Amino acid sequence: MKKIILALLMLLPACVGTMAQGGDTKVREAELQKLAIAIVATKQLYVDSVDGKKLVEDAIRGMIEKLDPHSSYSTPKEVKAFNEPLQGNFEGVGVQFNMLEDTLLVVQTINDGPSEKVGILAGDRFVSVNDTAIAGVQMSKEEIMRRLRGPKGTKVKIGVKRNGIKDIVYFTVVRDKIPLNTIDAFYMIRPTVGYIKVSSFGATTHSEFLNALKSLKESGMKDLIIDLEDNGGGYLQAAAEVLNELLPENDLLVYTEGRAVRRQEFRARGNGRFLDGRVVVLVNEYSASAAEIVSGAIQDQDRGTIVGRRTFGKGLVQRPIDLPDGSMIRLTVAHYYTPSGRCIQKPYEKGKIKDYAMDLINRYKHGEFTNADSIHFADSLKYETLKKHRTIYGGGGVMPDFFVPLDTTKYTKFHRELSAKSIVLNANLRYAEKHRKELIKTYGKDANGADGKGGIEAFIREYEIPQSMIDEIYAEGKKQKVEPKDETEREQTTKALKMQLKALVARDIWTMTEFYKIMNEDSDIVKCALKQLGEM
């Protein structure tokens, strides 16, 4: 073992020399030697056999966990899963699906994607992949996805069960690049008000945002609502590009600065496509990182109004460090600051990740989600907006200009339990599958009514969820011992369920845009935004 350690140590100076180029980040040779000896000694001398690869990974995780809550280590598999939504595409067959019991049910095919090209339809059930059964065998969703995905240009044989056809139909699909959109919906929510729902900030967000702006402006948009609720963030650059479309030339958008990282500023170039109309940004406690960059800049520069609840409070910048085996360390190297100088990272103690994870629960228990008066900021965290000199605060998230309390009565405990057990989703999938042809015949395949039918407007106006569907959900709930505490809770649940199910059916027949067209009319945050624009 001594020879192994000596051989390893001979390699260390070169490694140290490479890492020492950062000046203050220099790692002493003795520290590397200590780590190398510990790993080699454990692998060679420990009483039981150990996995060397796992030993190294555990050592890295142990170091990272003692830092801030957002530095992390990821395996090659985790890196791929993490990057796909941000990169904006993956290679596969091009279907949106849900698992109905133990069967993959196609909800939508990607427009002009591989599956649509060969004739696979919404409502089809995938029962086999390359002659291997995937239905009725309790195969995990992750394993099914692994079998369907693969390099562009490769072929996969899919067995499909289709309503009205007795035998299984087989399709050979040529895999291709499949886009992953980061904008879930955009539409005219009022005659002169556009609405854009941004779910995350990835490589394609800016181009998607430009497409949405162009379409909405052509439809008569004068004012804009940007919905960043539940947006967990993404690329800082993507957030800056979106802000560039909204702010005038040379306005500061965001800047970053760290111990070993110089201050870097992002400023508007003056070529934005929406510089004049009013802007309202919607946020909640799950809006984080890049979403806070956008909302913070809009607020600091007095460009628009922020509506909702205090955001998550993530103001740390991670740099990806690729490792030779495809794994990655995401290391926090800087803080980001809004234009007024606010660092909106909420407080944390190094190494106490569990306490950090409990923050939202503690905020809920403290009453912050339901009462703005329960939120207190120290005077030392007081800042001013840059143009109108309004008072704003740093120290943990972006506090909206107009607070909208969380309505804890809208969704009952009974409703939440039905949803948690997938009873609501499964009932919706079965209903949409059974009635898809009938609904398309009545309202049309084109949500805008371009095919001569009434489209989504007629659907919203005329369609009602049948009571039989509600009864089916409650019956299944009873089987699984999920029941309302009294008749009042049942009635309240029924009202909210009908709204939710109607939106889900619209999504399955058309797209997520139609889902939001229905759900937004019942959203208190959206209503508040419309009120600020004089549309309520």
Residues annotated as catalytic are: 289, 300, 314
192-222: b (≥16 Cβ within 10 Å) or e? ebbbbbbbbbbbbbbebbeebbeebeeeebe
Q: Give CA–CA dist 163/140, Å, rounded.
A: 24
Q: Tokens standing for 321?
A: 């460090």
Q: Tokens standing for 229?
A: 């609720």
289-301: b (≥16 Cβ within 10 Å) or e? bbbbbbbbbbbbb
212, 241, 277, 343, 448 from 188: Cα distances, Å: 10, 23, 14, 34, 12
DSSP symbol at 47: S
454: left (phi over 0), alpha (psi -120 to 50) or beta: alpha
Q: Give CA–CA dist 37/45, Å, rounded.
A: 11
Q: What's the CA angle centered on 192, arms 188 and 195, to 5 degrees?
A: 35
DSSP symbol at 230: T
DSSP SS3 for 317: strand
DSSP symbol at 289: T
Pairing, β 103-109 against β 95-100: antiparallel
Q: What are phi and psi for residue 19, nearest 5 degrees?
A: -75, -20
Q: Tokens standing for 404?
A: 């909208």
Which residue is it, tokens 């609501």? Answer: 424
Bridge partners, residue 194, by sequence: 188, 224
- Is-contact 157 129, C-beta < 8 A? yes
Amino acid occupying residue 358? M
Pairing, β 223-227 against β 193-198: parallel
Count of helix runs (H) and strand runs (E) in the chain: 18, 21
Give the per-residue SS3 of 433-467.
HHHHHHHHHHHCCCCCCCCCCCHHHHHHHHCCCCH
Q: Tokens standing for 186?
A: 């955009």
Q: What are phi and psi for residue 453, nearest 5 degrees?
A: -100, 180
